[in-house]
């Protein structure tokens, strides 16, 4: 080895150690809290680690021949690229800027196409390399799922499953350690020495966790199969209604609020998820983002070979341009609202996240609720009132069961079919039941709603009061504007918040107490919440409700249905923006495209269900909004009713609705 070559290797190793050290620091940076100074520290830390990896990547490109001569292996290059992808994804989770997500995709796709992790010999020393490859596939899958790269997701799922099976057979009897996939996306990896554990048991459990990950992604991708008509993200082509845009532009409320922050959380047992992304949270994330520029999809067309391998369009140079997304983002669209996603949080964590909403928990899947414990104590619940700008509104989405200790995932257990199709009537709830909504108590001869008799349940098995989130727990946060969506079989208990606010009247969307389907037995119980489905993909939710399962041959039929809904939304936008009776709570957010679209979809959901459910049981199946929207967009109004009738007739299912009884 020449002196020049040896010097290149030493420099490379030093750069790797420096970059890895900075990577560890930024990975462990608290994802939220601390105000503006903490944000500046985070940004500075990310700039330093990006600079370190940029320098490392450039150096290995310029000195590739020397490094290969010194024994540089391809998986080491892949690991560097994978770390860069992780950094970009981390920035996306903190900022919700899609360009970082696209950057992560670019690096992961390059790793795949150049097969950086493939080709290792099947011996015990390569277990670590295979573990890195497995984590790479899991991370790439997550990015591809969020970007809706369906073809790539399908390809990765197939490759991922095959790799897990190959690892199981290749390392059977060789490995004496178990890779615990406890922190899949963040890269934390704990090795448990099995030592003298029985060989047979070791063989059975060696890649058990990875097989579970494969099962998760398979379940996740199958749920929405056949229900994708248009992007769930806000797409200017489909969601900006030209006829009503002038009316929206002319609309001026006394006060206009900016929507910049959202907190999304879900806690159901056995819910469909991948990593720490649940199906309902995934749909809400998609619903609150702008559709990326189509340039990205045109430039990076995925073309698998017949043998299942990918085509490498880049050659063997190993060059990955870290600025490829300059022409993959659309500078004309506004930034996405920042979203904090809490996976299976405790009630303490929900309140903690709300407490710092303006400096909100900018995380998706990097931290479990155990990791968040260290941040809870120093947080003060009133922080949200101090840090949220006066012209901003926070959207809070809470999805959880209202049945303490019971599983609320299977909607079929709580759903009923239309009275025309189901023999089973759902009994009305009474005020004495646990999930009956807010109870009433006697106080000085007056009947008052209780804020602490009914709750959402955020917890594992058991019936601990610390797992219960009560309506009264949210009252302190109503000192500033709040757009609250409660999706639960006990959602109506939160009606008591209306009128109990401490400063700002909250906008409330409360889900039905139970879903309704024409043929409950035909509905996959893991399809997520029906209410959330209506808010994020209204036509898909409509088809699921009436028992229609789309196929590619019916493309024109569903495009026409989308046009019917779009025309209805156009008319409803004009009605809302022309209304003189609309409550200020709605008037001050109607100008925001995301919140306006949610309002329109709520109107659609409420009207469709009101005509579909048995009239005598409507209190069980109808969603609620408080304050009330104008009567001009009520289900019985002609503008709304006619749209539902037209859609039902389009699918030839008008006999499933109760149009003549209203």
pLDDT above 90 for 331: no
Give the residue, 144 or 479, on which the prediction is more confident: 144
Distance CA 34, CA 57 (A): 32
Q: How confident is residue 30, by pLDDT bands cut at 50, 70 and 90?
A: low
- Say how far apart CA 520 and CA 613 lie, in whole Å: 13
Summarised one tens digit per residue, pLDDT across range 552-570 is: 668 889 999 999 999 999 9
Beta-carbon contacts of 349 under 8 Å, excluding residues fewer than 6 positions away, are 342, 369, 372, 376
To the nearest 10 degrees (0 to 180), the angle between helices 538-546 and 593-612 is: 10
* Residue extents of the structural domains in the chain: 73-223+296-326, 236-292+329-422+450-661
Sign of the alpha-carbon dihedral angle for 582, 583, 588, 591: negative
pLDDT tens by residue, 459-476? 776 556 678 888 988 888
Q: How far apart are CA 334 and CA 346, in angstroms?
A: 33
Write down the pLDDT at residue 172.
64
pLDDT at 307 over 80: no
For residue 487, give the 3-state DSSP assignment.
strand
* Per-residue model confidence (pLDDT) at position 450: 79
With b for 16 or more beta-carbon neighbours within 10 A and e for fewer, the 529-561 pattern comes to bbbbbbbbbbbbbbbbbbbbebeeeeeeebeeb
pLDDT at 214: 93
E-only strand ranges, 147-302? 177-180, 190-193, 258-267, 273-274, 277-278
Tens of pLDDT along 361-392?
Answer: 333 333 334 333 323 322 433 344 456 677 89
Inform me whether the pLDDT recorded for 4 exceeds 80. yes
**What residue has token string 């992604």?**
217
Handedness of CA 297, 299, 301, 302 (dihedral sign): negative
Q: Is the pLDDT of residue 411 over 60?
A: no
Q: What is the pLDDT of residue 203?
A: 41
Residue 97 above 60 pLDDT? yes
Q: Which pLDDT score is estimated for 350?
A: 72
The confidence score (pLDDT) of residue 399 equals 92
Which contiguous run of DSSP H or E holds residue 507? strand 507-510
Phi (first) and psi of residue 399, to 5 degrees? -125, 115
Region 288-303 average pLDDT: 57
Q: Which residues pair with 338 in a beta bridge?
A: 261
Task: Give the rounded percent of residues in the chain with a pLDDT score beyond 70.
Answer: 70
Report how far apart the first and last C-alpha atoms of the chain are (Å, whole number): 88
More confident residue, 243 or 359: 243
Q: What's this model's pTM, rounded to 2 decimal places?
A: 0.83
CB-based contact 582:636 (threshold 8 Å): no
- Band the pLDDT of 111: cuts 50, 70, 90: very high
- pLDDT exceeds 80 at position 213: yes
DSSP, residue by residue, 151-179: HHHHHHHHHHHHHHHHHHHHSTTT--EEE
Question: Radius of gyration (Cα) for the chain, nearest Å?
Answer: 26
Kindly tell me if the per-residue pLDDT of 427 is higher than 80. Answer: no
Mean pLDDT, the chain, integer:
77
Residues paired with residue 482 on neighbouring β-strands, in sequence order: 394
Residue 279: pLDDT band (50, 70, 90) is very high
Cβ partners under 8 Å of residue 475, min gap 6: 451, 497, 500, 501, 502
Per-residue DSSP letter, 416: B
Backbone φ and ψ for 394, nearest 5 degrees, come out as -105, 130
């Amino acid at each position: 080895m020449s002196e020049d070559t040896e010097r290149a290797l030493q420099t490379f190793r030093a750069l790797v150690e420096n970059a890895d050290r900075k990577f560890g620091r930024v990975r462990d940076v608290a994802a939220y809290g601390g105000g503006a100074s903490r944000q500046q520290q985070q940004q500075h830390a990310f700039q330093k680690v990006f600079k370190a990896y940029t320098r490392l990547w450039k150096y290995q490109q310029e000195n590739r021949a020397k490094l290969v001569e010194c024994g540089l292996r391809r998986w080491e290059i892949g690991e560097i690229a994978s770390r860069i992808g992780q950094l970009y994804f981390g920035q996306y989770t903190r900022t919700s800027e899609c360009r970082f997500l696209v950057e992560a995709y670019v690096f992961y796709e390059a790793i795949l196409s150049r097969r950086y992790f493939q080709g290792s010999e099947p011996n015990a020393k390569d277990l670590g390399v295979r573990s890195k490859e497995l984590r790479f596939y899991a991370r790439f899958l997550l990015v591809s799922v969020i970007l809706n790269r369906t073809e790539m997701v399908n390809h990765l799922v197939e490759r991922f499953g095959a790799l897990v099976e190959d690892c199981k057979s290749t390392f059977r009897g060789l490995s004496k350690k178990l890779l615990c996939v406890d922190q899949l996306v963040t890269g934390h990896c704990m090795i448990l020495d099995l030592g003298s554990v029985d060989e047979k048991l070791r063989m059975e459990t060696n890649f058990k966790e990875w097989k579970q990950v494969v099962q998760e992604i398979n379940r996740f991708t199958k749920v929405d199969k056949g229900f994708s008509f248009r992007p769930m993200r806000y797409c200017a082509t489909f969601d900006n209604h030209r006829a009503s845009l002038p009316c929206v532009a002319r609309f001026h409320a006394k006060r206009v609020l900016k929507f910049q922050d959202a907190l999304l959380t879900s806690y159901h047992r056995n819910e469909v998820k991948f990593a720490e992304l649940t199906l309902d949270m995934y749909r809400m994330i998609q619903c609150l983002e702008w559709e990326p520029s189509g340039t990205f999809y045109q430039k990076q067309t995925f073309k698998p070979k017949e043998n299942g391998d990918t085509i490498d369009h880049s050659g063997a140079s190993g060059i990955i341009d870290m600025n490829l997304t300059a022409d993959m983002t659309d500078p004309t669209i506004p930034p996405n609202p920042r979203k904090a996603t809490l996976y299976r949080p405790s009630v303490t964590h929900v309140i903690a996240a709300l407490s710092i909403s303006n400096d909100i928990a900018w995380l998706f899947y990097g931290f479990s609720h155990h990791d968040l414990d260290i941040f809870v104590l120093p947080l003060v619940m009133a922080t949200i009132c101090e840090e949220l700008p006066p012209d901003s509104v926070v959207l809070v989405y809470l999805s959880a069961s209202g049945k303490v200790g019971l599983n609320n995932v299977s909607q079929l257990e709580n759903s009923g079919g239309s009275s025309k199709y189901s023999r089973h009537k759902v009994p009305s709830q009474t005020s004495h039941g646990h999930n009956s909504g807010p109870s009433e108590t006697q106080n000085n001869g007056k009947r008052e709603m209780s804020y602490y008799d009914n709750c959402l349940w955020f917890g594992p098995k058991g019936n601990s009061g610390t797992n219960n989130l009560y309506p009264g727990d949210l009252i302190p946060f109503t000192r500033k504007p709040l757009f609250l969506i409660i999706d639960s079989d006990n959602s109506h208990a939160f009606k008591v918040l209306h009128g109990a606010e401490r400063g700002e009247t909250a906008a409330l969307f409360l889900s039905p107490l139970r879903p309704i389907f024409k043929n409950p037995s035909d509905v996959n119980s893991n399809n997520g919440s029906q209410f959330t489905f209506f808010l994020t993909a209204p036509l898909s939710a409509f088809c699921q409700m009436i028992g229609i399962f789309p196929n590619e041959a019916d493309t024109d039929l569903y495009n026409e249905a989308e046009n019917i809904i779009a025309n209805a939304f156009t008319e409803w936008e004009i009605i809302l923006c022309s209304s003189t009776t609309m409550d200020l709570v709605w008037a001050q957010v109607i100008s925001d495209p995301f919140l306006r679209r949610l309002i329109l979809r709520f109107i659609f959901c409420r009207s469709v269900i009101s005509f579909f459910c048995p009239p005598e049981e409507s209190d069980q199946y109808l969603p609620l909004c408080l304050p009330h929207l104008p009567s001009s967009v009520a289900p019985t109004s002609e503008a709304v009713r006619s749209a539902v009738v037209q859609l039902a007739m389009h699918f030839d299912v008008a006999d499933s609705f109760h149009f003549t009884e209203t």
